[in-house]
Chain A
Amino acid sequence: MNQAKNFTKGFIRENPVFILMLGLCPALGTTTSAFNGLGMGLATMFVVIMSNIVVSLIKNFVPNKVRIPCYIVIIASFVTIVDLVMAGYMPALHEQLGLFIPLIVVNCFVLGRAEAFASKNTLISSIIDGSGMGLGFTLALTLLGAAREIFGSYALFGFQFIPADGMLVFILAPGAFIALGYLIALANKLNK
């Protein structure tokens, strides 16, 4: 398989959030600002790359019947690492993301990459796939966070460009659904 294509497919063509509609819970729940979206995206990207590496290394030793529980335990271990490291070094961001850090373990996008890609491919392509898809996920979350922050508080990465109160609805729950709806429409347009 062409490795460059393998890397870039997650950006638009098979973007986990915009096209495949996977991992929507963190995508909507954590993106109240571009920074939070970026943080959540990077945390998920770390888990996806590491679990892809381990899964592709052990793919020949794991019996077919118990593979899903094995993958879940591997993913859960890396999620615990992210949880503890973030709580130790970035307590503010950890507080903001809250429940959604342990919930990376049930993010169907992470398990989906392990099952659909890493369990069938070599170590190198699995790392490339994990990085590409992880970057695509990060990109989607940052875009969604940026859109909500721009409309919701007229700011981007904390830098306010119009000194006024924004449209609060974009920070609250309904704005997340509506902003993602329009972004998906846009991604569909770009994909054609």
Chain B
Amino acid sequence: MEYIIIVLSAILVNNIVLAQFLGLCPFFGVSNKISTAAGMGGAVMFVMTIAAIVTYMISHFILIPFDLIYLRTITYILVISSLVQMVEIILKKVSPPLYQALGIFLPLMTTNCAILGVAILVIQQEHTLMSGVVFAIAHAIGFTLALVILAGIREQLELVNVPRGMQGNPIILIAAGLLALAFMGFAGIV
């Protein structure tokens, strides 16, 4: 039951992009096409889950016992960027098709604030390892959902006449705003 609440709240109520403003760069950067949006979502889910597990371990077995919690930002970002490199090397060797599919999205992961944000949130909200993993996966699903919906809207936007001043980025932001408004309708469910 507890996990169902975590999942519903992460995907719909507190959507990581539309309500918490994390991971906005890829949200606007790679949402031109539904297929690339789904690829990015898969890559984020993969790295976010692993990063949450690894940073949880580091936090509970190294940083907290040795009272080094002020080093959190530096350690986490180093761990995440080397993790991304490692995942890239392993995938290239073990599963070339998956590596091909994730392609350029993997290196971009280091500067995706959603990854670091979720890693910090797992510690701040005092999750256990298991609920932390569920939390990370649910947030990644929420990220993918928002990305794919926005990509769908943008594909439609190319066919309509947008007023000249609003062409390009402004109309995408307004569309994202309306999407966020729609997601606010879920506010009462948990």
Q: Which residues of A contact B (CB under 8 A)?
A: 21-22, 24-26, 28-29, 68-69, 72-73, 76-77, 79-80, 83-84, 99, 102-103, 105-108, 111, 169, 172-178, 180-182, 184-185, 188-189
Contacts and interface: CB of A to CB of B under 8 A. Distances in A.
A25 to B, nearest CB: 5
Given A26-B21, A73-B77, 13 more contacts: A28-B21, A69-B78, A76-B78, A102-B116, A105-B77, A106-B111, A106-B115, A173-B21, A178-B178, A181-B169, A182-B170, A185-B165, A188-B170
B44 to A, nearest CB: 13
Contacts of B115: 106
A19 to B, nearest CB: 9
Candidate in A29, A80, A102, A105 with the most chain B CB atoms within 10 angstroms: A102
Interface stretch (B56-64, B66-74, B87-95): B66-74
A175 B178 CA distance: 9
B74 A180 contact: no
Contacts of B173: 177-178, 180-181, 184
Nearest to A76: B74
9 tightest A-B contacts by CB? Answer: A177-B177, A181-B173, A29-B21, A178-B177, A185-B170, A174-B180, A174-B181, A24-B24, A76-B74
Contact of A102 (B120, B165, B169): B120
